[in-house]
Amino acid sequence: MASIRKYPTKDGKELWRVQVFAGNDPQTGKKKYKVRRGFKTKKEATIVAARLELAISNGDLEENKPTPIFFKDVYKEWYGNYINTVRESTWARTVGMFNNHILPAFGDKRIATITTRDVQKAVKAWYEVTTANYKRWFNYVESVMDYAVRQGYMSKNPAKAVVLPRHEDIAGDKPENFWTKNQMNKFFTCIDKTARFDIFIMFRVLAYTGVRRGELLALEWQDVDFEHDTVRINKTLTQGKRGRQIVQAPKTRAGRRTIPVDKQTMSYLQHWHRMQQQYFLQLGINTLVPHQLVFSNSKNGYHSLNTPAKRLHKIQRDNDLAPRITVHGFRHSFISNLLIAGVPVTSVQKLVGHTDPTITLGIYAHVSAQQESEATAKLEEYMNAQ
């Protein structure tokens, strides 16, 4: 029930004041009242009181509506929490996605005013310039808006109703990112082991262990067990804030693994170990330290993450090698050739640090033609047998 009464002003006039009960404060339990004043007549005050009571019953009071805050400000709040849930390499990449794509679309909009149509329009624009990243950008927008709803900045998340477009598969086969045994062997004949043993051993380890680029460049001699012919993977080199190189733990538990290595590769590693020691000894650098890198630059620091790719591209270009593959293609080749050789999927999965065997098989699926051909040949032989 509204309370309507007169009150005197400082200059001696009389005006009307309205007070309406607005429920109990959820924090203190005390009664709350909404007060409006400054009305010249009782009739005017009575009309406002009725409107106020109706607004309270419907939950339409201005203070109950979402705060008129900009998307970019909500993003800053969300990001402050997000960085505590992911690795530095992940949140560092996320900044670039927001600065380059998401904030230009939504940053200066008041988040409560953004509609499903606005989000759909942005997603469509992203879809037209990229094949896959638009999904990740949309997911981040949805996460920020989920946060905004929880904080009371908007009443509902308009991104929930967005329909994500999907690119149709392109006709024809995608370029293969692996080499067969013969193609891999040909690649190694293109490297002068005498002049550039550092390059040879880098790609030898990639090809015969299936390690990732970052795992290779973070490898230390203490991870190499010459007695048992194994390499221990327990860290990776990656990029952090502002592109600086950092060493992190593997992304998953499966990423921590011990890889058995063939004796020839271990022999090459021993030779490389001696060469490295001699080279840095001439420069006055002590390499007999616990965290000495297996693959270091000329100053005995970490190689750039781009170093393996630059070296690979040059060898492929200079020797006209085909098909062209990426550094990650050495990992695909390792997996594929192991499976073709008959190594069980579960064993390959552990060697490469996959959490799910379907990931391992997914890489292998496009290179099993050789075994399939052999299988049909065996069928023909069986059917024709007397």
Q: Does domain 181-370 have CATH number 1.10.443.10?
A: yes
Contact 149, 157 (CB under 8 A): yes
Cα separation, 194 vs 200, in Å, equals: 9
Q: Out of 3.40.50.300, 1.20.120.550, 1.10.150.130, 3.30.70.1520, select the CATH number for domain 71-161.
A: 1.10.150.130
Residue 95: predicted pLDDT: 94
Residue 340: predicted pLDDT: 84
Q: Which of 35, 31, 38 is nearest to 2 (CA)?
A: 35
pLDDT beneath 50, residues of the chain: none
**66-110 pLDDT, tens digit each:** 567 999 999 999 999 999 999 999 999 999 999 999 999 999 999
Model pTM above 0.75:
no
Contact 334, 208 (CB under 8 A): yes
Q: Which of 20, 17, 24 is nearest to 52 (CA)?
A: 20
Cα separation, 189 vs 193, in Å, equals: 9
Q: Is 271 helix (H, G, I), strand (E, B) or coil?
A: helix
Cα separation, 275 vs 279, in Å, equals: 6
The H-or-E segment that residue 125 falls in is helix 116-127
Strand order of the β-sheet with 257-260 is 224-225, 230-233, 257-260
Q: Show me where the domains of the chain are located.
A: 3-64, 71-161, 181-370
Q: Which of 106, 111, 105, 145 is nearest to 129 (CA)?
A: 105
Residue 377: predicted pLDDT: 63
Quickly tell me which residue has 């970019």 as its tokens.
72
Crossing angle, helix 133-150 and helix 88-97, to 10 degrees? 100
DSSP state of 102: I
